[in-house]
Amino acid sequence: MVRRVAVVGAGVSGLAAIKCCLEEGLEPTCFERSEDIGGLWRYEVSEEGRASIYRTVFTNSCKEMMCYSDFPFPDDHPNYMHNTRLQQYICKYAKHFDLLRHIRFKTLVTNVKKRPDFSVTGQWEVVTQRNGKEETEVFDAVMVCSGHHVYPNLPLDDFPGIQKFKGCYFHSREYKEPEKFRGKKVLVIGLGNSGSDIAVELSTVASQVYLSSRSGSWVMSRVWDNGYPWDMLVVTRFRTWLGNILPSMLSDWLYVRGMNRFFKHENFGLMPLNRTSRKEPVFNDDLPSRIACGVVVMKPNVKEFRETSVLFQDGTVQNNVDVVVFATGYSYSYPFMEDDSIIKSRDDQVTLYKGILPPHLEKPTMAVIGLVQSLGPIIPTADLQCRWAIKVFQGQCVLPSVSEMMDDIDEKMGKKLKWYGNSTTLQTDYVTYMDELASAIGVKPNVLKLLLTDPRLALEVFFGPCSPYQFRLRGPGKWSGARKAILTQWDRTLRATQTRVTPAAPTAFPCLAVLGVLFLLLLLLLATLYC
């Protein structure tokens, strides 16, 4: 029987793990190497071994989509918020559910290993260090919640000549604020969220910013149709269902058309090489305008560094470059694992069943939380992962055989390669993944049943945003406030922006609604013909 659970890390995933353990009557002990909770979202000077952000980081998911599933954000919080506001919310969550007393701060986990009788007990030895003193404890299960934005990936071998470059270069993890780059020419390598954010911010003080991308990327704004948050309109069960039933050719065409709806990416040098890839897009409201103003210049991949200049793959040369920022992402690393192959069991790649469980363990008593990436928020993903993992620990969620788990992993890897390209990240579709976990533990909303018993809620669940509250409507961990939270989510979204009373705008011409319905019927007809 699993009773004592070690939780490594007190970020958003670690807090979810503690709470889920307590809900199921388990005894969690969380080890946090720093002096406070929050993990990635607690801004401070870079510290070895912990995640780090720059001062101006804002969320890419809106508050209704990224909250813990039974703890909505306060009404006065903006839809997208600065890291300090999110940190305040995280602290409120920890205080509300009385989680802090289960955390040992300034305690570093140095070793996690199986006990000699692991094949019988499933127990782990966890070695920690605090104030120079080492302590070993035995736990029935371990939840690894240390995140994946800790160890920077700095592939200098891929950039010939970097050693003779006389300027300054560093990984984006070290970037905090723009002022010290005033008047300089800066090259940012990597068109991800960090790279684009840093390039845009530096463009307000640098003499020129160049943004180098190997393969391009779709760029989305946080503000979508009619000013609503993008994810409340895009991350829905209806859109997921439509994407699954439509022929791939039609689905790809609609996807590319949707991504190009506000501006043509090829006109800005941003178009991804694989335009139909569902790889997570970049979220930046300002990058297109910065490019249009000429203060950010898009460039292809770097071919070679010289002493003061950079040669790009297209043969162009940029002279007098002062600073290079490598926004080249992060690598997975678990230095506290005595046997790293438990998590990286094949070709040094993370190999986890459901993106959570090492499949080859004799006893399923370890879970890795928060590694899965999707076009969706991390907090509710980690929350549901924890709920699933604990049901596995308790034997209430039966696992298939090792070979079946490996087959499932291989199938998911094949789909990932098809939809998201060759990437080391565990990418997946948000709604599909959440429903898969929810179904296994009996918390997936039953839309057909709701249609008979609560049609208003059913329509909102299917056509509205797939908000975290949906996974608290039924089953273990049911929350009495879930229905109300779903039916009032649009009100809270508007309350954050309607801070000045204005006259109502004229309603749209009715024929537009008719055309929309006809278009939907046409899509369904085409899907039927192709199936």
From residue 168, give the alpha-carbon distance in Å to each of 162, 209, 297, 308, 311. 10, 14, 20, 10, 17
Give the residue among 338, 342, 367, 340 at the shortest CA–CA distance from 355.
367
Query: What are the structure tokens assigned to 236, written together?
Result: 């829905």
pLDDT (tens digit per residue) in 196-219? 999 999 999 999 999 999 999 999
Element at 492 (helix H, strand E): helix 489-495
Q: Which residues of 7-30 are buried (b: 16+ CB within 10 A; e: fewer)?
A: bbbbbbbbbbbbbbbbebebebbb
pLDDT at residue number 422: 65
Distances (CA, A) of 180 to 3, 183, 212: 51, 9, 21
Which residue ranges of the chain lie beneath pLDDT 70? 45-50, 345-349, 421-425, 506-513, 527-531
SS3 assignment for 68-89: ECCECCCCCCCCCCEHHHHHHH
- Which residue is associated with the tokens 């000699």? 116
Whole-number pLDDT of residue 494: 93
Predicted confidence at residue 1, as pLDDT, reads 80
104 SS3 class: strand
Residue pair 432/237 in contact (Cβ under 8 Å)? The answer is no
Where helices occur in 105-149 by DSSP H, the ranges are 118-121
CA distances from 472 to 14, 126, 278, 486 (A): 20, 33, 28, 10
CA distance 108 to 119: 27
Q: Are the C-beta atoms of residues 69 and 472 closer than 8 Å to each other?
A: yes
Rounded-to-integer distance, Cα 432 and Cα 428, Å: 8
Residue 62 CB contacts under 8 Å (≥ 6 apart), including other chains:
79, 80, 222, 229, 230, 231, 232, 493
Q: CA distances (Å), 442 to each of 65, 101, 408, 439, 468, in order?
A: 21, 30, 20, 5, 15
> Within 166-222, where are the H helices?
193-202
Residue 400's pLDDT is what?
94
Q: Are 218 and 311 in contact (CB under 8 A)?
A: no
Residue 79 has what pLDDT? Answer: 96
Helix (H, G, I), strand (E, B) or coil at 1: coil
Structure tokens at 195: 């790279």
Q: What is residue 417's predicted lDDT score, i.e. its pLDDT? A: 74
pTM of the predicted model over 0.85: yes
Determine which helix (DSSP H) or strand (DSSP E) holds 4, and give its type and residue range: strand 4-8
Per-residue model confidence (pLDDT) at position 46: 58
* Token pair for 30: 């969380």
- Position 92 scores a pLDDT of 97
DSSP H helices, 165-310, are: 193-202, 230-234, 237-245, 248-259, 287-292
